[in-house]
Structure 1
Amino acid sequence: MRIPSYHQFQEWRRLLAGMAIGALISWLIFLFIFGEWMEDYSMEIKLQEEEIQDLKKEKEIWQEDVEKINKENEEKLTIQKIEVKILNHERYKLDSYSVHEIEESAKEDIRTLLTQNIETAFKSRDLIKRTIENRTFKAHEKRYRLKIKEIVFYTTLTVQVELQFDK
């Protein structure tokens, strides 16, 4: 039996060698392109992770600042305005000027509560009640006392009172 010569299958060898070289070159190109993509994506992911960490730290700082400011504001909540409202002035047929005078006199009695902490004012509510209820007011030759119906403590101290004849 005779061994075939190399010269007979030269076209097949070229085809197979070309396919092998083409496969090798295309594999190298694929690896290069895929490697570049992965490098870009990994760099982008790393930058995003760093940005996320920075944003989380910034968020924590903001939350701490907001909590601190809220605590300070709660502590600084003070009475800024006092309102006294007489509920039953129509019953005694008082004019609006007399009602206004009585309301202003009652406001003057508790004026010391302005700019005080709401908590402090709330603790002294019995004193406020006694201060307003123990005073007599004079209008149209008659003497009146005030009876507190409701006190609301907030930045505006609202006191609702009713008139009664003084005994």
Structure 2
Amino acid sequence: MRIPPLYRRPAWQRFFAGMAVGGAISWCIFLYIYGVWQERNTKLIRKQQEAIVDLNNEKKIWQEEYKELNKRNIEQLTVQKINIKITNSEKYKLDSLSVLEKENAVKDDLSEMLAKDLETVYQSRDLLKKIIENKPIKIHEKRYKLKIKEMIIYTTVSIELELQFE
């Protein structure tokens, strides 16, 4: 078998030369289009990566704020402080030191209510009244009992007391 002598015919020579030149041109066009497409996708990926980083940072900030708000809400829903005030100590002509000592004694009796949730404290308000009103106190060799005039239960439990002779 032998190869046909097509190299002698110029039409076939032009055809093969056209195929070679067309292949080279199409290869250049392919590389150009592929390069532009890759560049566009690279820019898109870079932009998306920056957006992801920004969103992750924003998410962390929101999570920290959310945790802090939860912590504050938990603190707000528990008893943080107890205030006791005896209002009519002037009526019995008592000195402020002994009144302050008795206020602190009542506060110590109620110290178990600190860090309890408001619902529990509210449900046990009758018990609080009994604890305060059934305990006689002694000031200058005289016995008194306390009567609750006003009780406010919130994050700060405020109780106003009146002294009465036993």
Give the structure-1-normalised TM-score.
0.57
User: Are the equivalent residues in 2 in contact too, given 1:83–1:157 (CA < 8 A)?
Assistant: yes
CA RMSD of aligned residues (A): 3.1
Q: Distance between the aligned counterparts of 1:49 and 1:89, measured in 2?
A: 72
User: Are the equivalent residues in 1 in contact too, given 2:151–2:157 (CA < 8 A)?
Assistant: no
The percentage of counterpart residues that share the same residue type is: 39
Q: Which residue of 1 aligns with 2:11?
A: none
User: Are the equivalent residues in 1 in contact too, given 2:144–2:165 (CA < 8 A)?
Assistant: yes
Q: Distance between the aligned counterparts of 2:164 and 2:96, measured in 1?
A: 17
Output the amino acid matched with 2:163: L
User: Are the equivalent residues in 2 in contact too, given 1:84–1:106 (CA < 8 A)?
Assistant: yes
1:71 aligns with 2:58: no
Gaps of 5+ in 2: 1-38
Q: Distance between the aligned counterparts of 1:121 and 1:128, measured in 2?
A: 9
Output the amino acid matched with 1:121: V
Question: How many equivalent residue pairs?
Answer: 125
1:144-163 equivalences in 2 (<5 Å):
144-148=144-148, 149-154=150-155, 156-163=156-163
Give the structure-2-normalised TM-score.
0.57
Q: Distance between the aligned counterparts of 1:122 and 1:116, measured in 2?
A: 10
Gaps of 5+ in 1: 1-38
1:75-90 equivalences in 2 (<5 Å):
75=74, 78-90=78-90
Q: Distance between the aligned counterparts of 1:91 and 1:51, measured in 2?
A: 74
